[in-house]
A = this chain, B = another copy of it.
Amino acid sequence: MTLPRLQSLDDLHPGDRYELGRLTLSLEEIQAFASRYDPQPFHLDEEAAKDSIFGMVVAAGLHTLSACFGMLMASPLLRDISLAGSAMEVRWPAALRPGEEVAVTVEVVMVTRSRARKDRGSARLRYVATRVEDGVVVLDATGLHHLRR
């Protein structure tokens, strides 16, 4: 399915759901992100990670989040209407392992029109990343987006 290029906040309806595609992070990408933004041994060092609760190197949670969010913002969906974002709630029910494929979807949770500014409003969008192999969710996040009308 090709994603539409929305032209207004009014094109979003609670319950709408879009498939953003599939995502995989390599060990090298995981280590590069972690070395700058989350330098813990279980994101960096294969040997040390064996002693962690993960048993192997896994992606930093903020890396999983950023990569999934990046798929949304690189897609045409909000390209013409995105003004800013101001809040997010995130859960990582499981860790993302190197080379593992996840399917990323975005769902419209809530749409609010601004009373003061008729040309804008906000939407709560939920991004979920699900491991293709076994259906385990590795990311469940909801962001507050400010959008044009």
- Which residue of B has the minimal Cβ distance to A89? B89
B89 touches A39 (CB 8 A): no
Other CB < 8 Å A-B pairs besides A39-B73, A66-B66, 12 of them? A36-B66, A37-B67, A37-B70, A38-B70, A40-B73, A40-B82, A62-B62, A85-B92, A87-B90, A87-B92, A88-B89, A88-B90
A residues at B contact (CB < 8 Å): 36-40, 52-54, 61-62, 65-67, 69-70, 73-74, 82-93, 95, 146
Q: Taking the nearest CB of chain B, how far is it from the CB of A131, in angstroms? A: 16
- Can you pick out 26 interface pairs between chain A and chain B where the beta carbons lie within 8 Å of each other? A36-B66, A36-B70, A37-B69, A38-B66, A38-B69, A38-B70, A39-B70, A39-B73, A40-B82, A52-B83, A53-B83, A53-B146, A54-B84, A61-B85, A61-B86, A61-B88, A62-B65, A84-B95, A86-B93, A87-B89, A87-B90, A88-B88, A88-B90, A89-B89, A89-B90, A90-B90
